Every structure is written in structure tokens, then in C-alpha cells.
């Protein structure tokens, strides 16, 4: 990645993350369940990179709208992402004690409250988006449908279910194929990343062609993000990652480097990133979003 693209990403994050963070905790300032709000705010503030909100706001800018027009979509996306991580960390799922170097929600607050914190964030995402007075009702309904489909059983939740089934089959001696892995990630990680760009398109009142280009770019960015995540896991020092690799192998976790080799996974990553760049090139203002897509594929953490 050349210096100007990385400087572009830095400048965009410095501009958009504070805008997003000036809004995203407001709904939890009052309410009748303050301890539950504390658990939700704990996970929202636990050090996430805000990739989905920033992708969403940059998508709106890419079609010529203001980032602020996509703020309620950006906030809803981060609520859903945070809920998915809280539930993914639970003993019944991945059973992780740490996330981003901090105790997971169920370790800090207990299992029941963590389940409810996830439920609270999931539902607040839709309440928040549905209440945005600046988004015309027809676009609000469109955005709610796109978000529901991406987050639900046709998207992220469905991908998580296929992942659990695949791990059980792999442990039973029937490993997941490359096509199976791609389907899991297209749903589990890709659906919400793709929705991030599509919601930016909706909020930014994009033309049909620009919305389609953003959807296709989102699909490719989602795939690239997952491949890079697998590569980072595979190339982290064995000592630092020993616990996780051992645990993942025991669970039957199949990754791109395992199926394609490290070189093959890097090639697939490059191809997916190039597909994203090609789609974005047709948009009125693609520079920042293209720089972020490149950065995500080359990120080191």
C-alpha cells in the first residue's frame, strides 16, 4: 500500500470514528435497566476498530452524500457486530475469556447478563435505525430490511450455524470443503460487511448502479477480510497463538491457509481485493473507500 493511501485511511478514521463515537452511546444514557446498559456499554467501548461504521459512512461519501447521513446505519451496524461478538464468546459458542485483551462480557458480568446484553444490542439496532428522523421512511424500511437479512438466519446467524455444524463434521472426520468454507464466511462475516456498504448506499441515496457496485465491492471486501484474518492467525508466532491454534484445531476449525496453503490464501486475498477495487472505481468519489479496502487486506491485526 503506498503512503498516500495509508495516510488517507488515517485521516478518514480520525474524522469518522469521533463522529460515530459522539453518537453511539446516547441511547444507553437512560432507561430502566442500568446494569444491563452497563454491560452493553462495556462491550461497545471495549476497543473495536469500528470497521463497519466507517465502511458505511465512506460508502455514503463514495456516492456523493455526507457521512453524517449514514450515522444511524453506522450505529446500528456496530450494535449488531458487538452483539454477535458477545454471543460468539459465550461458553456455548467459542467459550472465550478475553476479547481485544479484555475480559469478555460474560466473564465481566455473568452469562445471563451477557446473553441479555447481546439481545439488547440486537434489538436496539433496529429501534435506533427505525427512529432516524433524517432518513425518509421508504429508505428507512429498505435499510431495516437489508440489515435484518444480513444479520439474521439468511446472513450472519445462518453462517454461524453452518460454522458450528461444519466444526462438528470436521471433528467427525468429514472436513469442510473450500466451497463450504466460502459459504460459511460469505454469511458469517461477509453479510454484515456487505450490508455496511449497502446501507451507506441507501442512506446516501445512491443510484441503482452505484448501489449494485457497492454491494459487489462489499462482498469482495468481506471475503478479503476473512482470508486476511485467517492468514494473520496462521502467521502469528506459534508461542503467542499456541493456545488459540490448539483450541481451534480441537474444534475442527478449517481456514483458508489450511485449504489453499499460505501462498494460495495470499493470492485469493489479492484477487478479492482487486475485485473490490474494480467495483469501486465506477463510483463518483471512490478514493477513501478504496484506500480502506486496501488497508483491510494488508492490515497486521
Interaction mask 161-200, ligand GRG, x per CB under 6 A: ---------------------------xx-----------
Residues 44-73 interacting with ligand GRG (rule: CB under 6 A): 48-49, 51
Q: State whether residue 57 is helix, strand or coil.
A: helix
Residues 100-119 interacting with ligand GRG (rule: CB under 6 A): 100
At its nearest, how many Å lie between ligand GRG and the CB of residue 203? 20
Q: What does 65-80 look like in DSSP terms, one character per residue?
A: --GGGGHHHHHHHHHH
Kindly tell me which of 28 and 225 has the beta carbon lying closer to ligand GRG.
Answer: 225
Among 85, 117, 162, 199, binds ligand GRG (CB under 6 A): 85
Among 8, 72, 84, 196, binds ligand GRG (CB under 6 A): 84
Q: At what angle do helices 287-298 and 256-280 cross, to 10 degrees?
A: 170
Cell of 124: 436496539
Q: In the 8-state DSSP scheme, what is residue 27? A: G
Kindly tell me which of 107 and 205 has the beta carbon lying closer to ligand GRG.
Answer: 107
At its nearest, how many Å lie between ligand GRG and the CB of residue 46? 8
Burial 5-30 (b: 16+ CB within 10 A, else e): beebbeebbeebeebbeeebeebbee
- CA nearest neighbour of 268 among 233, 225, 235, 236: 225
Residues forming contacts to ligand GRG in the complex (CB under 6 A) are 48-49, 51, 84-85, 87-88, 93, 100, 156-157, 160, 188-189, 229
Amino acid at each position: 500500500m503506498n503512503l498516500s493511501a495509508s495516510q488517507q485511511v488515517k485521516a478518514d478514521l480520525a474524522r469518522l470514528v469521533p463522529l460515530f463515537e459522539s453518537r453511539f452511546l446516547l441511547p444507553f444514557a437512560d432507561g430502566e435497566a442500568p446494569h444491563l446498559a452497563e454491560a452493553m456499554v462495556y462491550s461497545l467501548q471495549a476497543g473495536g476498530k469500528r470497521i463497519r461504521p466507517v465502511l458505511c459512512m465512506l460508502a455514503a461519501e463514495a456516492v456523493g452524500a455526507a457521512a453524517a447521513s449514514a450515522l444511524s446505519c453506522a450505529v446500528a451496524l456496530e450494535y449488531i457486530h458487538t452483539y454477535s461478538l458477545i454471543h460468539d464468546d459465550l461458553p456455548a459458542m467459542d467459550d472465550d475469556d478475553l476479547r481485544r485483551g479484555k475480559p469478555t462480557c460474560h466473564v465481566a458480568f455473568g452469562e445471563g447478563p451477557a446473553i441479555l446484553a447481546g439481545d439488547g444490542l440486537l434489538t436496539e439496532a433496529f429501534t435506533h435505525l427505525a427512529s432516524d428522523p433524517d432518513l425518509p421512511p421508504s429508505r428507512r424500511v429498505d435499510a431495516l430490511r437489508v440489515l435484518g437479512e444480513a444479520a439474521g438466519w439468511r446472513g450472519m446467524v445462518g453462517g454461524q450455524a453452518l460454522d458450528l455444524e461444519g466444526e462438528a463434521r470436521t471433528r467427525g472426520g468429514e472436513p469442510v470443503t473450500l466451497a463450504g468454507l466460502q459459504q460459511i464466511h460469505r454469511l458469517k462475516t461477509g453479510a454484515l460487511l456487505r450490508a455496511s456498504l449497502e446501507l451507506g448506499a441507501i442512506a446516501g441515496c445512491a443510484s441503482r448502479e452505484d448501489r449494485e457496485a457497492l454491494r459487489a465491492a462489499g462482498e469482495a471486501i468481506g471475503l478479503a477480510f476473512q482470508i486476511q484474518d485467517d492468514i494473520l492467525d496462521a502467521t502469528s508466532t506459534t508461542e503467542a497463538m499456541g493456545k488459540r491454534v490448539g483450541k481451534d484445531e480441537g474444534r475442527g476449525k478449517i481456514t483458508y491457509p489450511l485449504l489453499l496453503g499460505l501462498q494460495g490464501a495470499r493470492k485469493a486475498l489479492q484477487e478479492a481485493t482487486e475485485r473490490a477495487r474494480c467495483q469501486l472505481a465506477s463510483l463518483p468519489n471512490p478514493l477513501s473507500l478504496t484506500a480502506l479496502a486496501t488497508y483491510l487486506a494488508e492490515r497486521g491485526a
